[in-house]
Structure 1
Amino acid sequence: MSVRHFLTLRDLTADELRRIITRAGELKAIHRRGDRHTPLQGKTLGMIFEKSSTRTRVSFEVGMAQLGGHALFLSPRDTQLGRGEPVEDTARVLSRMVDVVMIRTFAHETLERFSAHSRVPVINGLSDDVHPCQLLADLQAYHEHRGDIRGRTVAWIGDGNNMCHSWINAAALLDFKLRVACPKGYEPDARFVEAGAGHVEIMQDPHAAAAGADLVTTDVWASMGQEEEQARRAAAFAADYQVDAALMAQADPQAVFMHCLPAHRGEEVAAEVIDGPQSVVWDEAENRLHAQKALLEFLLGAYI
């Protein structure tokens, strides 16, 4: 059997994605009951971090422990990657020693090069192109609170970044409508928009995007690695692109609010929204743990 990787949501079929979301809910219930579930005993996850992280590291490390396995943290300071070893050579060696690899990096090409030479599954813990693990958690949270997302409307407010790209992929896979509102010059990459044709609409008016939406979501205006652009980006976004109570009032009364975190209250989101009754942000964050456990089970053949 060929090795399965998870570099983008599109590495899964719609049915596989739905099964992982369902399984994540089952694993969450198992954990809350206090039941022991350790199908990955003797398995090791190698975690390569070129970008810093809180939720990604903790959720994968704890997730492997809960499943009975072990996680190994590797930063550029701890590996030969930091001293110029080719990605391909690291992949060839590491994949002979561990059972699965998670990489959090800048260039998506790094993941593609690594996976092409890996004997074991490779998971994208975040790249500049996409953040598929976060979408697993987001989709699980929506399913928990509102049921099937098929046919629903999601409003993305803000930068057309890696999170936006992953929402576009999700819309195409799970058959929902995505409205993306962003300032001119900050639109999502045309490759993703073209691939999501029929499911995504790009606009500049955030209130129009939110009108009647079932879910409103956003992210920071300057992602990791864009700190030098902070002032310019704030000037472009601040006037219209904060998700506040007035914008949420445009959405369906039962709409939920999501944010992948970390959040900057008073910038991309108002405190009254992220800390308000429509916010499911904390469930969303917790679900990184359980959704990734479901993904690990799937890739390692512990649950089909």
Structure 2
Amino acid sequence: MAVNLRGRHLLTLKHHTPYEIQFLLDLSRDLKNKKRAGIRGDLLAGKNVALIFEKPSTRTRCAFTVATIDEGGHPEYLGKNDIQLGHKEDVADTARVLGRMFDGIEFRGFKQSVVEDLAKFSGVPVWNGLTDQFHPTQVLADFLTIQEEFGTLKGIKLVYVGDGRNNMANSLMIGAAKMGMHFVIGSPKSLFPEDGLVAECRKIAQDCQSGAVIEVLDDPKAAVKGAHAVYTDVWASMGEEDKLAERKALLQPYQVNKELMAAIGREEAIFLHCLPAVKGYEVMEDVFESRCSRVFDEAENRMHTIKATMVASIGNL
């Protein structure tokens, strides 16, 4: 099936078909092989990319920067104190200015409405580098890592343990529904994902005929049983630091440690984390540094999947 992502935004994975997601993963693999062979490209030659960051970043900033330069483009970092976004100038006006100067815009910040308004008014492709609700570029990196490990996504059991309402749980659930995975959230009932999103993801799976299974459980050991991959994230996201003590008490049973990994019952299971990790909280050091950990493969894959996303939407293909 022919896939054309020219001019497309990446705000969440809701708007991409399974074929389009797989196309991005295949393109990521090809671009990764190209980089490892030492081949510099020109697929973004003459392209200027605005990188808007309200929140600090290691992987997202470096991935967008290196990916753009690798293919001959120019990235311009715009921190929260560098431009007037949301201060003296509303989002719509900023979007219209940047859209006349840049070929694509990345946004990493708080409100999903901001990235959606950038897409609405800029006239150029906009990519969500993280908001409080969704983190689609991370999911692409996660899926590339899983695909490299197991050769497929379909039928893979991916279990997320921790805060079941955060942007990673939301985004993984959407992606898993599209790609025919068995996705389980293991979380306290008070941190279960929104019922509406769970229902939407189950409908996505049905509409796509992907065969995906979506479950939400409050028993962490029951959740991880038979998992191919176990995923976690920080217990208090950026902006929620004041809730850390409360979350630590609530989420301690969901810590990824040797005991929880032993409950999987599958020898080849892997551990994933979007990073940065607070070791000793959501994951223990002996799991993070174990042979089952793929967190740094996953981190590297941010660059390859982000490169594929930009190339597919604004590249010289």
User: Do they fold alike, i.e. is TM over 0.5?
Assistant: yes
Among 77, 87, 99, the alignment partner of 2:103 is 99
Q: What SS class does the counterpart of residue 190 from structure 2 fall into?
A: coil
Q: Which residue of 2 aligns with 1:249?
A: 262
Q: What SS class does the counterpart of residue 83 from structure 1 fall into?
A: coil
Number of aligned pairs? 302
Q: What SS class does the counterpart of residue 257 from structure 1 fall into?
A: strand
Distance of 1:38 and 1:94 partners within structure 2: 23
Q: Segments of 4+ in structure 1 off by > 6 A?
A: none
Answer yes or no: is 1:167 the counterpart of 2:172. yes
Say whether the 8 Å CA contact 1:76–1:82 is kept in structure 2.
Answer: no
Say whether the 8 Å CA contact 1:168–1:199 is kept in structure 2.
Answer: no
Residue ranges of structure 1 left out of the alignment (5+ in a row): none
Query: Shift of residue 85 of structure 1?
Result: 0.6
Answer yes or no: is 1:69 the counterpart of 2:82. no
Distance of 2:33 and 2:55 partners within structure 1: 31
Among 187, 197, 207, the alignment partner of 2:221 is 207
Distance of 1:299 and 1:218 partners within structure 2: 30
Q: Which residues of 2 match residues 68-147 of structure 1 at below 5 A? A: 68-81=72-85, 83-147=87-151
Q: Which residues of 2 match residues 1-304 of structure 1 at below 5 A? A: 3-81=7-85, 83-160=87-164, 161-197=166-202, 199-238=213-252, 240-251=253-264, 252-303=266-317
Q: What is the identity, as a one-letter code, of the residue corresponding to 1:76?
A: K
Q: What SS class does the counterpart of residue 80 from structure 1 fall into?
A: coil
Q: What SS class does the counterpart of residue 103 from structure 1 fall into?
A: strand
In terms of mean alpha carbon deviation, does 276-285 or 179-188 score higher?
A: 179-188
Distance of 1:3 and 1:246 partners within structure 2: 47
Say whether the 8 Å CA contact 1:87–1:113 is kept in structure 2.
Answer: yes
Q: What SS class does the counterpart of residue 258 from structure 1 fall into?
A: strand
Distance of 1:290 and 1:173 partners within structure 2: 21
In terms of mean alpha carbon deviation, does 155-164 or 247-256 score higher?
A: 247-256
Say whether the 8 Å CA contact 1:45–1:100 is kept in structure 2.
Answer: yes
Query: Shift of residue 10 of structure 1?
Result: 1.7
Distance of 1:82 and 1:164 partners within structure 2: 28
Say whether the 8 Å CA contact 2:6–2:312 is kept in structure 1.
Answer: no
Query: Shift of residue 82 of structure 1?
Result: 5.2
Distance of 1:171 and 1:222 partners within structure 2: 23
Distance of 1:302 and 1:133 partners within structure 2: 21
Q: Deviations over 1:164-210 (max 9, x none)?
A: 00111011110111110111211122232111126311111110010
Q: What is the identity, as a one-letter code, of the residue corresponding to 2:186?
A: A
Q: Aligned pair in 2 of structure 1 residues 26, 2: CA closer, same or farther (>3 Å)?
A: closer
Say whether the 8 Å CA contact 1:3–1:119 is kept in structure 2.
Answer: no
Query: Shift of residue 248 of structure 1?
Result: 1.0
Q: Percent identity over the alignment?
A: 42
Q: What SS class does the counterpart of residue 89 from structure 1 fall into?
A: helix
Distance of 1:291 and 1:236 partners within structure 2: 34
Q: What is the identity, as a one-letter code, of the residue corresponding to 1:202?
A: V
Q: What SS class does the counterpart of residue 47 from structure 1 fall into?
A: strand
Q: What is the identity, as a one-letter code, of the residue corresponding to 1:94?
A: L
Q: Aligned pair in 2 of structure 1 residues 298, 42: CA closer, same or farther (>3 Å)?
A: same
Q: What is the identity, as a one-letter code, of the residue corresponding to 2:134?
A: V
Q: What SS class does the counterpart of residue 34 from structure 2 fall into?
A: helix
Q: Structure 1-normalised TM-score?
A: 0.96
Two-structure CA RMSD over aligned residues (Å): 1.3
